[in-house]
Structure 1
Amino acid sequence: MPGPEEELNRTARTLLALLGPLLLVLLGVPALQGTAAAAAPPTGQATRYTMTAFTNSSESNMYVYDSPDATGFTLRKGPAYTPPSGLIRDPSIFKHTDGFYYLTYTTNWTGNTIGFARSTDRVNWTFLYNYTIPISGLTRTWAPEWFIDTDGSVNIIVSLTAASTATHFTAYKITATNSALTTWSTPIQLSGIGPNYIDTFLVKIGSTYHAFTKNETTKYIEYATASSLTGPYTMRKTGDWAGFGDWVEGPALVQLDNGGWRIYYDGYRAGKYWYSDSYDNFATWSTPTEVPGLTGFIRHATVLKETVSGGVTLSTNTTRSLQSVNFPGRYAVVRSDSLGYLDPVSASSSTAVKQSATFTVMPGLADANCYSFRDSSGRYLRHWDFRVRFDSSNGTDTFKKDATYCARPGTASGSVRLESYNYPGRYLRHYNYALRVDLYQNTDTFRADSSFTLVSPWT
């Protein structure tokens, strides 16, 4: 029988899939469009998530990380950029049509400027200029965020106030008026967001603009929608509607390869950094999880998703055995109880044992750019209550997702780590020689436990 956590998730997702769109229409919340078309990159390509952040230890230095899965990030350079003067709080990154990466950031605690820098490789940056927001009396100019609209326009959403203290912020947008990003339109306020909202982050899906923004009075991240970039926005969800908690800020969203959306945010009072995922039109979110290895260190990050060359490719419609990297005499097997284990297999093993360690690598049942693994009896390697087992397909979407894994680089040359398709951030790994799908941990042990080499089949 399934455990309570996964069974609850399955039930909730099934009900939301059936009833969610109707409930959202009744509530007046626009449904998201286009998420079903999301897919992992094809052979020879990979997804790369680049994170830029300042840190608890320095507001004047920016660090750059990247990740193949949006969960486990690797430091690429830190510090990667220090402006000539002032701060680099709230760095936001995007890649322009000219091939350069651009940053915009908060230059100081007080003042009326935002900063700009440029890079060819995401890790080595050149200062461009500080731009003065042309509004009289500004006292603070915080948290600029890139927003590229579907018409190709390059915009920055920035939080502004003319108050004598850090209160009464409102969100404005400025739009680049040349391709060099050196001239900008007159600032226009985003109607309906405010007063006293800050750190506004936008995504556009279909014809709807979705805003995630911090209520500076209550310290919650709240949610609004509009049919126009400048509004009027309607606040759809307020208070602790998503379970993100209070005293949180700096929301930043990115779409995952399986169509879900991930939000990162700064739990600044607790000194932690979180992420959470949504699959139902932003109505509900997964339990917040600390960003492994970076929580407590980074502050107010943004994440850029790209498709790049490379990645891990497995040959499909071939038989292979999955050899453990850190226990090379052991292999993934299916035992008579239909559960997956990491057992010893050798030339002297019986034919039945060798057969239990032999699988056909198939195109993923839920995404053909990922992978599924089928045993000799036609059963698929899938997770159930986060335990690995082998079952015959029942044809449901849930089964297809449970039995699909996306390939990521392993710890040893030629090895692979297999990420759950429907629970991003969870990997096939062995624990006490039982195969599980566990949440990524920023440890050498976890990375080794979740690394396998596909070798010639035992049978």
Structure 2
Amino acid sequence: MNVQAQSKKETYLFAYFKDNGEDGLHLAYSTDAYNWTTLKNDKSFLTPTISNDKLMRDPCILRGADGLFHMVWTVSWKSNGIGYASSKDLINWSAQQFLPVMEKEEGVGNSWAPEITFDNKSKTYMIYWSSTIKGKFSETLLKKDDKNNNRIYYVTTKDFKSFSPTKLLYEPGFNVIDASIVNDNDKFVMFLKDETKEPVQKNIKIAHSDNLTGPYSKASEPITGNYWAEGPTSLKLGNEWIVYFDKYTEHKYGAIKSNDLNTWTDVSDKISLPKGLRHGTIITITKKELKKLQKQ
């Protein structure tokens, strides 16, 4: 999930999970995009109730054109669907729903890190995630890791009640997860994780498209450094992009910034995020909305 900000006076909200996602949705806020403070003493705002595993990993929240906050998340390490709920205030949530987005595919191993992006032109939402389907894209399948060979899939919806058939969104020629797409002047920028283990990549790359549903360009060279990174989420402050990501093997968060999406500067030492924060997404909220959240 990505957000564009017109002013540095915006209030930013980071939705994230901790540990394995058992206790649900955590929220933190910032007014400068660098220093983040937990809300509700870092206790959960929403406890997961669906799927056998009852997890709420990788939460992605989008403020919809209808004024509601729409959230999707990973419900399990192994599932053919994702979680969905909506809210007017980020405090009181609708009943949690399981969306079986991959139920018509045989041999689905997982549905990970779903996100939502809105298309202003068609007034349509696209929900997208990564899945492994047994027997597909065998050219990038590793014998010792034959259950992890992801590509990005999607559905579209106008109302979060009826959904288009599931389609393949991105096949970059490698194992790919954690796609996060932002609308940039009616063109689309996809941040993604190259999940290749041999030879090892485990980094963040970029792809571009003129249309939300693609086709997307060949993936760029890595924009992150010599460490394993995942779960990118971005913010645009004026002309400056900031991409946050989980340096998951180091158990800390990183960030890079750029004015052109080509040349990147590491600003990891300038950010301060809640301890234990895992893969999440950022939106803007109003000061009034923040005050309500601070009372929880």
TM-score range, shorter chain: 0.7 to 0.9
Identify the match of residue 141 of structure 1 among 111, 136, 148.
Answer: 111
Query: What amino acid is aligned across from residue 105 of structure 1 in structure 2?
Result: W
What is the match of residue 246 of structure 2? 266
Query: What amino acid is aligned across from residue 263 of structure 1 in structure 2?
Result: V
- How many angstroms does 1:194 deviate by? 4.1
Alpha-carbon distance change, 278 to 123 in structure 1, aligned in 2, over 3 angstroms: farther
In the TM superposition, 1:114-153 aligns within 5 A as 114-133=82-101, 134-137=103-106, 138-151=108-121, 152-153=123-124
Alpha-carbon distance change, 264 to 127 in structure 1, aligned in 2, over 3 angstroms: farther
Identify the match of residue 298 of structure 1 among 268, 272, 277.
Answer: 277
d(CA) in 1 for partners of 2:234 and 2:149? 24
- Asked whether 1:214 is paired with 2:193, we answer yes
What is the match of residue 248 of structure 1? 229
- How many angstroms does 1:307 deviate by? 5.0
Q: CA RMSD in A?
A: 2.4
- How many angstroms does 1:166 deviate by? 4.1
Are the equivalent residues in 2 in contact too, given 1:173–1:190 (CA < 8 A)?
A: yes
Identify the match of residue 106 of structure 1 among 65, 68, 74.
Answer: 74
Question: Higher RCO, 1 or 2 (CA under 8 Å, sep at least 6)?
Answer: 2
d(CA) in 1 for partners of 2:289 and 2:133? 48
In the TM superposition, 1:296-375 aligns within 5 A as 296-306=275-285, 308=287
TM-score, normalised to structure 2, is 0.81
5+ residue gaps, structure 1: 1-34, 312-459
Structure number with greater Rg is 1
- How many angstroms does 1:69 deviate by? 1.6
d(CA) in 1 for partners of 2:226 and 2:94? 37
What is the match of residue 289 of structure 1? 268
Identify the match of residue 62 of structure 2 among 60, 72, 94.
Answer: 94
Are the equivalent residues in 2 in contact too, given 1:140–1:161 (CA < 8 A)?
A: yes
**For 1:186, what is the secondary structure of its paired residue?**
coil
Are the equivalent residues in 1 in contact too, given 2:204–2:224 (CA < 8 A)?
A: no
Alpha-carbon distance change, 253 to 166 in structure 1, aligned in 2, over 3 angstroms: farther
- Asked whether 1:233 is paired with 2:216, we answer yes
Are the equivalent residues in 1 in contact too, given 2:74–2:114 (CA < 8 A)?
A: yes
Query: What amino acid is aligned across from residue 253 of structure 2 in structure 1?
Result: Y
Are the equivalent residues in 2 in contact too, given 1:169–1:194 (CA < 8 A)?
A: no
Query: What amino acid is aligned across from residue 254 of structure 1 in structure 2?
Result: L
- Matched-pair identity in %: 28
- How many angstroms does 1:232 deviate by? 2.7
- Asked whether 1:170 is paired with 2:141, we answer no
d(CA) in 2 for partners of 1:155 and 1:202? 10
Partner deviation per Cα, 1:382-437 (whole Å, 9 max, x = no partner): xxxxxxxxxxxxxxxxxxxxxxxxxxxxxxxxxxxxxxxxxxxxxxxxxxxxxxxx
TM-score, normalised to structure 1, is 0.53
d(CA) in 2 for partners of 1:112 and 1:268? 25
d(CA) in 1 for partners of 2:20 and 2:96? 25
Are the equivalent residues in 2 in contact too, given 1:64–1:122 (CA < 8 A)?
A: no
d(CA) in 1 for partners of 2:92 and 2:131? 29
Partner deviation per Cα, 1:310-332 (whole Å, 9 max, x = no partner): 99xxxxxxxxxxxxxxxxxxxxx
Q: Structure 1 runs of 4+ off > 4 angstroms?
A: 307-311
What is the match of residue 82 of structure 1? 47
d(CA) in 2 for partners of 1:102 and 1:250? 19
Query: What amino acid is aligned across from residue 40 of structure 1 in structure 2?
Result: S
Alpha-carbon distance change, 123 to 277 in structure 1, aligned in 2, over 3 angstroms: farther
Partner deviation per Cα, 1:262-305 (whole Å, 9 max, x = no partner): 111111111111222111x20112214154142x5111010012
- Asked whether 1:187 is paired with 2:152, we answer no
Alpha-carbon distance change, 98 to 167 in structure 1, aligned in 2, over 3 angstroms: same
Are the equivalent residues in 1 in contact too, given 2:224–2:256 (CA < 8 A)?
A: no
5+ residue gaps, structure 2: 135-144, 291-296
